Structure formats: structure tokens, C-alpha cells
Amino acid sequence: MALFNRINGKELKERLHNSVQARTTISFYKYHQIADPAAFRNELYQLFDQLQVWGRIYVAHEGINAQISVPTERFLDFKTELYSIPFLTGIRLNMAVDDDGKSFFKLKILVRSKIVADGLNDNTFDVTNCGVHVNANEFNQLADNPNTIIIDMRNHYESEVGHFKNAICPDVDTFREELQVVKDLMADQKDKNLLMYCTGGIRCEKASAWFKHVGFKNVFQLNGGIIEYARQVKDQGLENKFIGKNFVFDERLGERISEDIISECHQCGNACDTHTNCKNDGCHLLFIQCDDCAKRYAGCCSQECSDVIAMPAEVQKEIRKGINKGRQVFKKGRAKDLKVKITATDSLIQSTGIK
């Protein structure tokens, strides 16, 4: 059997859009030494393909990082097969909190040098000596402690649409950049409670160990990230300290955690927290766009891109020929054509008293 998808992505997206099959979106990760990531990747692809699992999975010598969707009726079969893999037995599965089953349309498993790009030399510190894992209730208690500083370990385009109250949300493009920014920002605060969170917990797992290595004394991390926090808050009737949306890296682009809308349309400035990708195949910039601007610009980030998609397909291909737009992953929401720019989060930093 083929160990990769052979069907055109647009066709698969259309199938997903028209499908009525119930699917459950989950994520999981595990730091574990994998001797042969390529062989493990191929075995995993065969297993997941048979179960109609779709999603994006990274495999490396240091472990696995997965965001996937599973046919709801086959979820127990999937769980049984996953737990049959020795180092994944009993692993926590983060269940999506705002799930329409339209998160992924194909299975993609990639072998990477790391399961999260952090730029760290793992040989220089003990990556297993991570921070104290806390649940939702413990997180809330720590958040109320005046000796606690809450740090959002995600990128600017994630925290822009949702974050914890009073959290510091560094204006960064990458996790690699964030590590150094937080280290410098907190240089004279190493005796404080450093309370970190991210989407599902994986970034904090490595970051907490590194922050302990560079001298922070009281390091805590939200177990299971925002996804698990939202589930526990709902199930246990706890106060929800997260405001807005939780950005997710799939077709949904966000899970609503509270009804608050804390961001603006990047084109007109009206309240909005709906991320979209520019419809121009030569752009695909990720940005925030309201319904009115989506109609005005035909789902594009600018009038220029809107004009392009109105051209015949052959002309569009000619325009794109030889032009490398790059992944645009590091400049999401910062394009020069956007009228409403993302600003640095000085107000959040000032609210903590940290300069």
C-alpha cells in the first residue's frame, strides 16, 4: 500500500465539507526515544490509514506529536490500537472542546529532527526535569497568587484571539524566539511562580525543563494545555479564566472557550476572531477577517489578491510561476496590505508590573 496520500487536496477538502460522518478531533504527544523514526512512521501510517485516521503527525528521535481526527464510531478501536504501542499505553488524549468533525481531510505523517522546533540543544540540559504539572483548579489557585506570573508560550497570532486573564503574551513569531524573549523578560523574576501554558501542553513540556535549567526556581505548567483546561472547567464547574478562542492548527483554526471577542478584523478593525487563509493560491496568508470584509475581498487579504483570483486559472498559474512566497508561517497577520496591524502586547506586560 502507498504510505502517503495520492488524492488532490482540494478534492479531499470538498469530500470533508460534504461528509456527514461523525468524527472526533484529538491530540496527543509523547517524549520518548524512538530508534528508527522512519520505520515507526511507516508502521503508524499503515495502522492509522486502515482506521481512517486523518491529521498531521510529527515523528522524531525524541518522540511523537499528533493532531488528528478519528471516525467517532471507530474511536474505541483507535484507542485500543494506539495503546497497544508500548510507549503510548495510557497516554492522555486531548479531546477537542468545540468540534464539528471538519478538522482534517487527509493523513500526513512526517519525520522531523524534533517534534517541536525549539532551537535548543537537548544535550546541554535534562529535558525530563520539567516543571510541576497542574490541573485546572490548581492553575486557577496559582493564577490568583500575587507571586505568580502567567506566561503564554504560544505565538502572537494564537494569543491575539484568546489568552488567560493577566497573562504575558510575548509578541513573537516562533516558539524558538519565545524561549529567549521570556528568559530575558523574566531575568530578575526568577523567584516568582512561573506559570506557563500552551495549546495542548507539548511546548511547556520542553520549555519548563529549560527554564529550570537557566535558573527559574518555581516552574509550573498547565497539564494538557488550554484544551484540557477547558474540559475540566466545564466538567467541574470551575471559574473559566481563559478569554476568547483557542487557536488550533487544523481546518477549524479555533475553538471557542468563552464568548469574549478580544481581537479585531485585520482589514476594517471591527471586533472579530475568525482566522482564515487568503484564497489566493499564491498567498495563503493567515489573518483575521470579518464576514463583511470576506465578501468585499472575496476571502482574500487584499484587493490585489482579490483581483488575482478573479482571473482565469491559467493566468493565475502564470503569475505564480517562479515566485516563492515561502510558508508565511512566521509573519501571520503582519502582511503590509493589512490595515489593522497586530500590536505588541505592552498592556498585558504592564498589567503584571514587569518592565
Continuous H helices in the chain: 9-18, 37-50, 75-83, 136-143, 156-159, 175-185, 202-213, 225-236, 291-296, 303-309, 313-320, 346-352
- Asked if residue 346 has pLDDT above 50, the reply is no
- Asked if residue 221 has pLDDT above 80, the reply is yes
Report pLDDT for 83.
98
Distance from C-alpha of 220 to C-alpha of 35, rounded to nearest angstrom: 30
Catalytic position from the list 169, 198, 290, 305:
198
Continuous H helices in 93-221: 136-143, 156-159, 175-185, 202-213
Whole-angstrom Cα Rg for the chain: 21
Tell me the average pLDDT across 196-205. Answer: 96
Q: Which of 55, 46, 207 is nearest to 131 (CA)?
A: 207
Tell me the average pLDDT across 268-285. Answer: 92
Q: What is the pLDDT of residues 85-114, one digit of tens each?
A: 999 999 999 999 989 889 999 999 999 999
Backbone torsions φ then ψ of 67, nearest 5 degrees: -130, 115
Residue-averaged pLDDT of the chain: 90
- Asked if residue 266 has pLDDT above 90, the reply is yes
User: Using 50, 70 and 90 to split pLDDT, how confident is the model at 10?
Assistant: confident
Give the CB-side neighbour count of residue 274, counting CA atoms within 13 A. 12
Report pLDDT for 14.
83
Report pLDDT for 326.
54
User: Using 50, 70 and 90 to split pLDDT, how confident is the model at 352?
Assistant: very low
- Asked if residue 125 has pLDDT above 70, the reply is yes
What letters, b where the CB count within 10 A reaches 16 and e where it falls short, cover 97-124? bebebbbbbbbebebbebbbebebeeee
**With the C-alpha atoms ordered 101, 239, 196, 92, is the resulting torsion angle positive or negative?**
negative
| Neighbour count for residue 284 (Cβ, 10 Å) | 14
Report pLDDT for 17.
80
Report pLDDT for 203.
96
Give yes or no: 198 in active site: yes
- Cα-Cα-Cα-Cα dihedral of 109, 232, 23, 45, to 10°? 20
Distance from C-alpha of 158 to C-alpha of 161, rounded to nearest angstrom: 6
CB 130 within 8 A of CB 223: no
Q: Tell me which of 334 and 230 has the higher pLDDT.
A: 230
Take residue 53 and report the three cell numbers written for it: 485516521
Transcribe 123-134 into DSSP letters: GGS-TT---EEE
Report pLDDT for 178.
94
Tell me the average pLDDT across 290-298. Answer: 97
pTM of the complete model: 0.88
Continuous H helices in 62-124: 75-83
Report pLDDT for 349.
40
Question: Which are the contacts of 332, defined by CB distance < 8 A and separation ≥ 6?
Answer: 155, 156, 157, 173, 285, 286, 287
Tell me the average pLDDT across 146-151. Answer: 97
Length, in residues, of the chain: 355
Give the CB-side neighbour count of residue 148, counting CA atoms within 13 A. 18
